[in-house]
Chain A
Amino acid sequence: MITQSEDFINNIHFELQEFLSNNQGEDDNFPQIWYAFSFEDVDKTLKAIDKNNLDDRPIVQVIETNLREESKYESSDGEVSLIQANLTFYIIINENYNSNMKRKRVLNKLASQLKYKFDNYKDSLPHFRRIRTGLPDGILSRDTDNVYSSRQTFYCELIKKVR
């Protein structure tokens, strides 16, 4: 399916946010999350959670690490281009989220659930083709104030209307 969106990159985030924030089927056990575009979003969300202004949920920050326009060609809908999108997902939790489990186990579980969600419900993302979601790379990072994160890669292709 060709994405017609003028605001192409924000639209990618919007669709991913919708996908991740909503249950996609009976077996989708991925919990409710906060979606973040930028580091500033993460910082503000963590502070709001800390002040009990927001529910304590994992934050999923999605960063576009490489968007590449591979080729342009004519289609029945006019000129389109193939975009190869490499995104990185960071799952971020604080020390209180699911505090009865070790941080690494919590992050591994969330990362597995995230991958499961994409692998099994990718049809809910009709603009995204050839989706590949990696497993976490094993690096557990700790920020100040006991914030923990894991990283996994995400690859997809999009057909974009040339404007």
Chain B
Amino acid sequence: MIKLRVDTSDFEELDTKLKMTREYLTESGVQKWLGMLLGDGRISIESNLKNNIMDLVYMQPTEMIVGDEYRIEDEPNFYERTERLYRATKVTISGNQINLYMDDETLGTRGNLKDLSKGTATNLGEKPYSLRVENDFVYENNYGVDVLRKGDSYMEKTFIMIRHRVLNGDLDPKQILTPILGVWKG
């Protein structure tokens, strides 16, 4: 009878090394992919958000319900606008997450407060300007009538668009692994 004794201690070490390599690959791959989402010209999610602000906030009519009456301000006047909202987009990577957000500190510090309020409503301080534009917002105008300003959903659209493109494979994580897989393909 031939006995073959196998020392498995090396296997354990190999297993540990493989796990570490896998974690390293995953970590660096995710970071690289996140970096691509932020910086690459075909994707750049911050640019997408800015384009959506331009299209949905500045260029689209504003819908309102004033008391019981539906109104629409359909005169786009982008070049008379300030660029505050546009400039308040911020994007950061922390860990394995991308944070895309509107920086209300930036919004609040640029220009004067009077420009920000654009009206006489007393409850403007309840919500940041970025949210008042994103979501429906109700305020009382200077005639004491409740006004509902329809939200522009620029952030929601950006989120849906990015998710859609990831699911469609337009922003494909596999791109990151391609050079690594190429090593084994020879």
Pairwise interchain contact B51-A151, C-beta atoms closer than 8 A: yes
Binding site for B on A (CB under 8 A): 38-39, 42-43, 46, 63, 65-66, 68, 70, 84, 86, 88, 92, 132, 137, 139, 141-144, 147, 151, 153-156
Decide yes or no whether B67 CB sits under 8 A from chain A. Answer: no
B81 touching A144 by the CB < 8 A rule? Answer: no
Closest to B48 in A: A65
Residues of chain B contacted by A84 (CB below 8 angstroms): 39-41
Tell yes or no: B80 within 8 A of A by CB: yes
Q: Is the CB of B47 within 8 A of A86?
A: yes
Q: Scan residues 42-65 of chain B and give those whose CB is less than 8 A from a CB of chain A.
A: 42, 44, 46-47, 50-51, 54-55, 59
Contact of A88 with B59 in the complex, beta carbons under 8 Å: no
Partner of B83, one of A38, A70, A142, A155: A38
With A66-B38, A86-B47, A154-B41 given, can you name 15 additional A-B contacts, CB distance below 8 Å?
Answer: A38-B83, A63-B86, A66-B44, A66-B50, A66-B91, A70-B35, A70-B39, A84-B41, A86-B46, A88-B50, A88-B51, A132-B41, A141-B59, A151-B54, A155-B40
List B contacts of A46 (CB < 8 A). Answer: 79
Query: Which of B20-28, B70-78, B155-163 has 4 or more CB atoms under 8 Å from chain A?
Result: B70-78
Q: Could you tell me the distance in whole angstroms from the C-beta of B101 to the nearest C-beta in chain A?
A: 14
Q: How many pairs of A and B residues are in contact by the CB < 8 Å rule?
A: 69
What B residues does A70 contact at CB under 8 A?
35, 39
Q: Are A141 and B41 in contact (CB under 8 A)?
A: no
What would 6 A/B residue contacts be, using CB atoms closer than 8 Å?
A: A39-B79, A84-B41, A88-B50, A139-B55, A147-B79, A151-B51
The 8 closest A-B pairs by CB, nearest first: A155-B41, A84-B39, A65-B47, A68-B39, A66-B46, A86-B44, A144-B77, A86-B47
Residues of B with C-beta under 8 A to A144: 75-77, 80
Question: Complex: how many Å from CA A39 to CA B55?
Answer: 15
